[in-house]
Structure 1
């Protein structure tokens, strides 16, 4: 199913500290950059896509999607990427997905959409824990996020708790949340 009112931001703006400071989204996994796996899974499901990146922006732009940078300097974390995504978002809902989960399935979008209703956000749950970087957030949450960031907030899970949110049960596909965090995981 296609969700034209949903845009997606793929978070690739981190420092990649656990990956030896390599740009994780561009690291090769099974013959393609990690970000390409995520793009292939979600592109058929959403209306628009942008990539949040703070370095190697030309390499990301060559993938054919807009690249948006954090407006907060110094790699403050994924919330800055979500804020950049909400600033860019041309639709009413924003799908947030990290670049380092090559097993993500397009059905994640369906699960999130299925529980969103009138809430501010829907967040995936893998059966063991909440996955706050796999979320569907309404564009109207931008001011709330700006306030959270301005008051020193940096943790995605804490920001989610300030919203009216719903949990999407994805426990039947926990593998889609495995993120590639280190060079060793590229070969497992």
Structure 2
């Protein structure tokens, strides 16, 4: 028998905004402006209706992030170890059995992300789903857009304590459903200030 699809109220949304922003000149990426709003605000607006509750993973500028009125969760490990550390902290704190993570630098993330990922869970992949896009024969994986069950926390903690940081490598050892999305542009992410300015110009 197939596992029941998680209800939206069973899912905590997480916006990952805790990185170094190295390719942006070490600025806090989530607070950079697109069309007069911080990138994190775009992610909040698109994700909020898809989940039961929402939080932000942030390691800097807590006063500015606090203005959004959401819980702020910082990494449990020092020195910005990457998005998996943000997931670890969130799986530790969230009060629901499921966590849906997105990056702060993808302002056009799918409005049906939660619906598709939760429907994509299977008996063979009951605890995780990630987004993919493009050619189904050679899909482009977007593991930072993921739905995770909180039971994965011990495995993730062990992986991080072993000094590992790569998200792709962790998911290689976690059976995860790969859910295809037709709109690859929904997953476009902004890595540099030049890309941010170009996107703002292209979407006026």
Q: What is the TM-score normalised by the length of structure 2?
A: 0.88
Q: Tell me, yes or no, if structure 1 residue 151 matches structure 2 residue 162.
A: yes
What 5-or-longer segments of structure 2 have no aligned partner?
1-6, 199-204
The equivalent residue for 1:46 is 51
Once the 2 structures are TM-superposed, how far is the Cα of residue 106 of structure 1 from its aligned partner?
A: 2.0
Secondary structure at the counterpart of residue 10 of structure 2 = strand
Tell me the distance in 1 between the aligned counterparts of 2:100 and 2:197.
29
Secondary structure at the counterpart of residue 15 of structure 2 = strand
Q: Tell me, yes or no, if structure 1 residue 27 matches structure 2 residue 37.
A: no
Once the 2 structures are TM-superposed, how far is the Cα of residue 187 of structure 1 from its aligned partner?
A: 1.9
Query: Within 5 Å, which residues of 2 pair with 1:1-188?
Result: 3-118=8-123, 119-127=126-134, 128-170=139-181, 172-188=182-198
Secondary structure at the counterpart of residue 19 of structure 2 = coil
What 5-or-longer segments of structure 1 have no aligned partner?
none
| Number of aligned residue pairs | 186
Divergent runs of 4+, >4 A: none
Secondary structure at the counterpart of residue 14 of structure 2 = strand
Tell me the distance in 1 between the aligned counterparts of 2:131 and 2:177.
9
Secondary structure at the counterpart of residue 97 of structure 1 = strand
Structure label with greater radius of gyration: 2
Once the 2 structures are TM-superposed, how far is the Cα of residue 104 of structure 1 from its aligned partner?
A: 0.5
Tell me the distance in 1 between the aligned counterparts of 2:111 and 2:158.
31
